[in-house]
Structure 1
């Protein structure tokens, strides 16, 4: 029988053994910046016993023996702790294959110190003679960003124009409906914004970047850099809930698949479901993105990445308001929730992207890189929407309480192919260092057979037929009805009564489909050869490139009535950076842009069915041409912890193609001779203290119309762009010495000046300032972080943009998101 004495002895022995077990605590920091590194792996060597540093770089580990510390972008370090607390400094790794992003950047901060896409080489941002703004995944996560708009709102000179993936950059509205992903052009990320779950960082490369990316917008290019496989195991699970019935689940798993860490993987996935503050709007999105990297040797690497997205929801065409009365526009004449769409509208899109990349280093001086991207995309759209005009009475006078409507059902599918291949040569001639690229790229965009559109619009005639527009001179031929004592021609699709909103279901049998069309097969192809030289001499860094581009547009491809046209352009780029000292670089640059008009019209407000086969085809319009002149400075302070980038710029563009905004002919186009945008920008990112980070920006844009067919518009402000914008985001973490250790606070502010609507200059959307607040909490000795964000703290009513009286885009009222993140 066991005695009480034996039990007490055993208990005391267990307690003594537990108390005697060695416990090591410490902190992992960057050796260059002294900034803590969260998420580093600390493991007892040759065991599976380990942990991960918390958000302040701290760790606590039971056990004894040598510690092995590893983290993405750093050299693995082994230490033998001689005390119960140890500070470990990790040195940044220098990768031999720096020409391609095989692994992520070294720091987990708001600042990214290099760009690959801007020059096709891994170049420090401070040495690139062009303004580049970067939003890292750390800033995105701390602001609880879900879609692209949540990231680019931080960037100087970037302003949303609508609810869509459409922005004004440096006072110039986007025309391309695609998105750059790892520097490769895609198509149709316009109506429903891409999720950010698989994004490492968002880069905004300012100015026309055609010398690098071919046909891109003059104001700037938005490039999504995806997360890459890591050679250390990392796992993250995230759950979010919040206002408007928002729910999101996301995972991020990565690590090696073999012992020698030559085969790496990463899997990102996300599911988002949300309603809206807008009537009859709800969206669901599914993102699946696996990627693999094979490090065949120190000289050869292969990367394969897949992105699948399935988006189901509705298009939000904006808030209608009453037309101006007595010259006065009341933006509050209708609630911001009002939406003209029907409950059974839908917009479903699916896309699949596969990217393969091969890099081989023949010698220390000669390398080769080739990348291929394939994208497929298809849509199925049904919507009741405005014609961008009011209903009219029998005398053709607009009735400002009735929105004229149309109904559309559209299906189509596209296929996109991208190839980019180049040789890079690194060599010296005397005191000159050269980095030379010689390459070729191809972008092919095919609109596939089977696409088409049915639509109902216009007015009913007495004989039962339909005409697209009302002709008051022939009023007797139209069916009529009475409304508030007025006689009105009867529309094919009933007008929407703004005084008595009624979002009834679409009944397709009620409509007379007077527009049935099959979309012609079409193909646009761009081939280009390019040469780029990055030359360094002492404190000078010269960037020079030439790109010869050939463009071809084919409509009714493969048919007897096939038609085509071609464009070509020689595009120069030259920039010079001078290193004043270790903290200051100054630069100047000049570059040119080029966009065939086939690429500028597909996202115009009413020109979705433009396919180059009508009298308004792009073949009869000159390409859009642009140029950039820019000078700036890139400065680092506080021992490289704070980064300040400033730029003065002028962008000119000519041969602009615009929608004519004619309700009876919604696909008609007009040209504008020239526009000019001049301005100043500043971006500030980094650490004010080791536990205090910030990201701020300011921009001033004087964007004007220089030449136009309408003399009244010459010298007028550009539409849908503010003169000034400013942003601020800052996070403060309480130190381990504080009673509030584990707690962090974030604060943000956004300001935008007023805007002139796209098609109506009789009113403006007012300036606004928004405030955001976030609270973070990490329980002690835990890998869990809790994040609560309150956005639009003061519940400000505001509009991010407008097109006319019937299409305003109100911002979200006060709302919140709560996220729990577990890393293991």
Structure 2
């Protein structure tokens, strides 16, 4: 374990399951719910069938497109394309490079070209296995065309699979699916283009946080992972009940993605996470409505055809306990049917009063390689989370109030939320030949939330100068039902025209979201009674310095009876999106010049309404919009280690609601200009990127009443981002990030609210103000040293630092969250007990016990939502792997 790459590595090109599609029939496998998309895409499918040129039996010739690069990476690409098992010693070819390889040829011809001038030679051990070595007296090339396997087509995963021999380093740094992968850098990503494209050839900003980083930092929340990416900042999200971030100055509005599919608001359990990919800038061309800053895409674990089992127990400060299980392997002897099962159980308290969590998560999945060309995948996720709502600490005047960090102003007996999520993901794909592939999938989620809270509603501004400032608290007993369905169909093809290589994507998707909620809401009670008489019975004050939690004259049962028998909050809303998109990745001049072009046309419809009395009394308003969103990019790669790129993208989003005069609101429109460069070193083990961006967002929504809104402004964000990640040596791994973000309001018509949250006038707005929760300067660094000498082998030590400058708390810039610097550290030790690997680990967060606020609320003008960070915290772990 933990050796440098000096052992013999066995690489096998595969689809991630060890099988190589060749033939099959797609008929009968199309899901009925995709039929609405088929008329527009059927011509593309027919074209692909006509272009398909199946290889003749026994024909070993295939098309190779391998750019000039390190010999190590070129051999990896050859293994993927040829579907041969390739054995070589990484140390012996380190520093060697090869020229580009293009054209139709046999595997024997391709290997000869790749190894020309390298001093290396090769021999076929058998019909499917090739050894690359330095020639000696006993080494003889034994190539025989008749012994080669016939042409086969790859599947979803283009990275080769690794099988470790006795003296080999026990992981493949280029295979992200390898459970033992220790690499801090990732070479390929699908999030940016929906095709498996090298990041160095992608003219957009994409950062990946791989499993090695997640393990070393014991990232048990998505928030713990994205701190390793420049320009990404966590924001308040109901105290952790949801996940939300600001990217490049703009909040994601609780949008989250799993394997490129939009989900309802919630959290992603890390027990089933392979890696996390952050795509910067507007991404509407491929994903529909996405906020202009970018998106966070969680990539889940997939079934493997090699058995792997893991059991981990974590334990830490504030009664933190978390157990995870990961099991995968083949079900059938031919490995055509494989499974994976992940489980996570979390039971924890908090340094915050009245806050805790009890969460169960299970994720079974199956992969069936029905034919060499056709595969099916079924994934299910279920979670049940008993948790607590947390406002944080309110702000008074220019700063958050100075009270003990544990103080929570929600009611200790009325702070119980239960969130239940079920996800079903079915998808399949079919390879017509080596160049054309059709994929289809359906994802459905069901989300139920029961909220039983008395949280802080907002700060009483007229009492800010009082020696005993107060905040309003309101009862909130609500039941939510949220369902969404996504259907997609993609056709991906590769071909050449006049020497220009094309990687074309034609696709369509349908997204439907429905929400229904009802309950008892204290603010509604006060509004219905004009804030007079007993109007404030369920909407009262609490003193910040001397809180009295028992001032409500009712019991939990009485409030729950109001929710069931006398609810006063009824809301129903829905959204449906249809989108068709086209993308072409063109390559010129031996892949030195890459041009990305494409566009998406959306048809969007939404309905919503609310009532104080019943669902029957809801008057829903509907809104329909159509829009075309283009994206273009160009990348020039003068050297294998350097790429220079630029792009222009647009984004489109419906604005929810209507004006007080029942006029539909104009949609949000965003655009971005970006330019940057990327580099990679040490055969791709160390990568860097530098980007400049300029984003504008127009028609920003602001609430003017209980159910009415106006589009009142525009915002602009521009800045510079730098990311570095990977291995400097076999011992030293590093992550470093920095972001300068200047995010400001450039157009606004301000609204004046009274102390009850109602609009009473307008002013000149907040023109020129900084956007809330956005740090002008932010960055991070993380260093890990893995000892390689015999006496200390298996020991790893790491340190990290995370910083952010001051942030504004609201659009009015009326208060600030101070800047901070936080230090973390970890130590781990791994050793073998027979065939089992045992790892013990200790992580320390906030080593110097720094008090700071990591998040505010970017969408609300209230001063109530400011989340204080964990103090000095310890997290231990014991992990068994077999």
Q: TM-score if structure 2 supplies the norm length?
A: 0.75
Instruction: Choose the corresponding residue for 2:796, options 744, 759, 774.
Output: 744
| 1:700 counterpart residue number | 740
* Distance in 2 of aligned mates of 1:508 and 1:278: 22
Per-residue Cα deviation, 1:39-81 (whole angstroms, up to 9, x for no partner): xxxxxxxxxxxxxxxxxxxxxxxxxxx9x99x995456697x8
Q: Partner residue of 1:352?
A: 422
Is 1:720 matched up with 2:773?
Answer: yes
Query: Which residues in structure 2 correspond to 1:543-582 (within 5 Å)?
Result: 543-555=596-608, 563-582=621-640
What's the CA shift string for 1:607-663, capped at 9, x where partnerless? xxxxx489497x621111101110111101234321001111101100011346xxx
Of 413, 419, 425 in structure 1, the residue corresponding to residue 493 of structure 2 is 425
Q: Distance in 1 between matches of 2:359 and 2:839?
A: 24
Tell me which residue corresponds to 1:265: 339
Cα 1:92–1:363, aligned 2, differ >3 Å: closer, same or farther?
farther
CA distance in 2, matches of 1:73, 1:105: 14
Q: Which residue of 1 aligns with 2:548?
A: 502
Distance 2:515 2:495 in 1: 44
Give the gaps of 5 or more residues in structure 1. Answer: 1-24, 36-65, 95-100, 471-477, 480-488, 599-611
Q: Is the 8 A contact 1:73 1:104 kept in 2?
A: no
Pair 1:181-2:258 in alignment = yes
8 A contact 1:72–1:231 mirrored in 2: no
Query: Counterpart of 2:412?
Result: 343
In 2, Cα distance between the equivalents of 1:210 and 1:575?
15
Q: TM-score, normalised by structure 1?
A: 0.80
Residue of structure 2 in register with 1:594 after alignment = 652
Q: How many residues align?
A: 705
Q: Distance in 1 between matches of 2:587 and 2:694?
A: 26
RMSD in angstroms over aligned alpha carbons? 3.3
Deviation at 1:743, TM superposition (A): 1.3
Answering whether residue 333 of structure 2 is matched by residue 333 of structure 1, we say no
One of 779, 790, 797 as aligned partner of 2:831: 779
How much does 1:303 deviate? 1.0
Match of 2:300 among 226, 231, 241: 226
- Mapping of residues 98-117 of structure 1, within 5 Å: 107-117=181-191
Q: Deviations over 1:151-197 (max 9, x none)?
A: 1111100011224412111111222x2310000011121xxx32211
Cα pair distance change 1:532/1:683, threshold 3 Å: same
CA distance in 2, matches of 1:758, 1:150: 24
Q: Classify 1:822/1:623 alpha carbon distance in 2 versus 1 (closer, same or farther; 3 Å).
A: same
The alpha-carbon deviation at position 365 of structure 1 amounts to 3.0
The alignment partner of 1:419 has SS state of strand
Instruction: State the alpha-carbon separation in 1 of the partners of residues 524 and 607 from structure 2.
Output: 31
Q: Which of 439, 455, 458 is 2:521 aligned to?
A: 455
Deviations 1:337-374 (A, max 9, x none): 11111123111111111111111011233221111101
Q: Deviations over 1:210-232 (max 9, x none)?
A: 10110111101010000011110
Residues 292 and 72 from structure 1, CA distance in 2 versus in 1: closer, same or farther, beyond 3 angstroms?
A: farther
| Counterpart selection for 1:172 from 245, 250, 267 | 250
- Pick aligned residue for 1:767 from 805, 814, 819: 819
Are the equivalent residues in 1 in contact too, given 2:660–2:709 (CA < 8 A)? Answer: no
> Residue in 2 aligned with 1:246?
320
CA distance in 2, matches of 1:105, 1:72: 17
Q: Whole-Å Cα distance in 2 between the matches of residues 371 and 519 of structure 1? A: 34
**In the superposition, relative to structure 1, how do residues 251 and 458 fare at CA in structure 2: closer, same or farther (>3 Å)?**
closer
1:446 to 514, 534, 537: 514
* Counterpart-to-counterpart distance in 1, 2:365 and 2:784: 32
Verify: 1:210 aligned to 2:284, yes or no.
Answer: yes
After superposition, the Cα gap between the structure-2 partners of 1:143 and 1:495, relative to the gap in structure 1 and judged at 3 Å, is: same
Structure 1 pair 357/148, CA: closer, same or farther in 2 (3 Å)?
Answer: same
1:436-463 deviation line (CA, Å, top 9, x unaligned): 1221110011225xx3121124898xxx
5+ residue gaps, structure 2, are 12-69, 74-125, 131-156, 610-614, 751-763
Separation of aligned partners in 2, 1:273 and 1:140: 20
Q: CA deviation digits over 1:453-512, x for unaligned, max 9?
A: 21124898xxxx973447xxxxxxx57xxxxxxxxx965433112222233486258879
Answering whether residue 689 of structure 2 is matched by residue 645 of structure 1, we say yes
Alignment partner of 1:139 out of 190, 193, 213: 213
- Aligned match of 1:411: 479
Q: Distance in 2 between matches of 1:170 and 1:211?
A: 18
1:313 aligned partner = 387
Report the Cα distance in structure 2 between the residues aligned to 1:616 and 1:413, rounded to whole angstroms.
Answer: 29
Distance 1:272 1:76, change over 3 A: closer
1:21 aligns with none
Matches of 1:310 and 1:297 in 2, distance apart?
37
Q: Secondary structure at the match of 1:336?
A: coil
Shift of 1:420: 0.8
Deviation of the 1:683 alpha carbon: 0.7
